[in-house]
Structures are given as C-alpha cells and as structure tokens.
Amino acid sequence: MLKFRISSKFGIMEEIRDGKPHTGIDFAMPEGTDLRAIGDAVVERVVNYGSENIGKGVILKLEDGTRAIYGHMDSISVKEGAVIKAGDLLGASGNTGHSSGAHLHFGLWKDGEYIDPTPIAEQVADLSGSLAPKALSIFEPTGAITQWLFGKTVTKTTKETAYGILEGLCEVLVELSGAIALVGGGICLLLHVGGWKGGIRWMGILTVARILILMTLGGV
C-alpha cells in the first residue's frame, strides 16, 4: 500500500486542467510534508508560478538526464544549480498554484515528453513525510552506528538498510511516546485526583518527554 494515496493518475483528462492530459501523478499529501530527491541530481530550476500551474516547484535533472518535477510546494529549501544526493530534502509540500487541495504533483520528463511516473510512485511516497531526517543526521556524520552494526565496509545499501531500521525504530518510539504520554498522563492525573501528590508532576514529565521526542525525531 502506498504511504500517500494517488489522487490523480498520469494522462487522465480533468476539467481543472482545461481538458489537457495530466503530465504527472498527484499524491494526496498534507501541507508541510517533507519532500526529498528521488535520485542524485542537479537542481535545474526552482519555479514559482504564483497561483498558476504548479505554483512553487522544483525541477531536478537526474543523472540520466530525466527531469523530475515536484509541484504545488509550500516551501523550497534548495537553490538552482545545487548538486544534491538521493534523499536530500527539497522542501515541503503544499497547495500552491492551480490546485484544489493539498497535494504533491510529481512528474517525469524524458526525451522530450512526459512519462508515467507510476512505476516509481512507491519510492516517491516512501521518501516523503516522516523519515525523521533530524535523527538520521545524528548518525550521518560518523556512521559509527552503522559501522558497529555491519562491520567496517559500509556499503550504501547496508547504510540505507540501517537507516531504514533506525527510521522504523524512530517511528515506533514516536508512536509509543504518544501512547505513553496520553495513557500514562491520564493515569497520573487520575492518581492525582485520587490523592497522589506526584501525579501532576509525572504527567508533566511524560508530556515534556513526548514533546522532546517529537522535536528530536519529528514524524508528527
């Protein structure tokens, strides 16, 4: 199952596009979702069509010359000409341009025409949202954890696997902290009402812990 639902497929005709075929696919995606590069690339163009077309967007030139187009973005955190790696943050999704709701328009342009990005839809969806980039950056500088886990030769694939595991753990931790803060906090509050003086303090501690985990690992 895709992490984000495809709300409009490639090639279909819709009135909102004045009867022209859709040049990409749309993912229903809340505003502010992190968007990342699908491959090593050069940021060929950063565009802003205002309330027209794809609004704010980024066009990447991938290594094989294919262009990847990200549209309707809320904010853009890369500059034209920047050389970036797969997975690098491009900015946040939004609802800019000619759009009827928050979504990401993703297009591929190859050899002079738009091609159907559906085969890589899962990859695009997986790269978007709570990848806990802050948590990754903690481990990125040294790679110590991945080296410790996988020995000295850390290939890109094992590194990515390690990040995948860490990301999974981060997500579990975020989920867990939410549940503990909610249920534990509630119990503490009840105990406080029942006469335990420490109840409110522990409820506060659980809430602060939850907020700290959210701030560190993201993934709201």
Structure letter (DSSP) for residue 120:
G
Task: Work out how close the CB of 174 gets to Zn ion at its nearest, in angstroms, rounded to a whole number.
Answer: 30
The letter for the amino acid at 173 is L
Minimum Å gap between C-beta 69 and Zn ion is 9
How far from chain centre, in Å, is Cα 15?
29
Could you say which of 73, 84, 94, 105 contacts Zn ion (CB under 5 A)? 105
CB of 26 to Zn ion, least distance (A): 4
Closest C-alpha to 163, from 175, 153, 174, 171: 171
Q: How far is the CB of 22 from Zn ion (least distance, A)?
A: 6
Angle (CA) 53 11 125, round 5°: 75
Q: Is 93 in the site for Zn ion (CB under 5 A)?
A: no
Stretch that binds Zn ion, among 26-34, 87-95, 158-166, 175-183 (CB under 5 A): 26-34
* Residue 26 interacts with Zn ion (CB under 5 A): yes or no: yes
Residue 34 sits in the site that holds Zn ion (CB under 5 A): no
88 scored as a contact of Zn ion (CB under 5 A)? no
Q: Do residues 41 and 62 touch, judged by C-beta distance below 8 A?
A: yes
User: Could you give the string, one character per residue 148-177, with x where binding to Zn ion holds by CB under 5 A and - elsewhere?
Assistant: ------------------------------
Do residues 171 and 177 touch, judged by C-beta distance below 8 A?
no
HSE at residue 34, side-chain half, CA atoms within 13 A, is 18
At what angle are helices 199-217 and 185-193 packed, to 10 degrees?
170
Distance of closest approach, residue 107 Cβ to Zn ion, in angstroms:
7
Site residues, Zn ion (CB under 5 A): 24, 26, 105
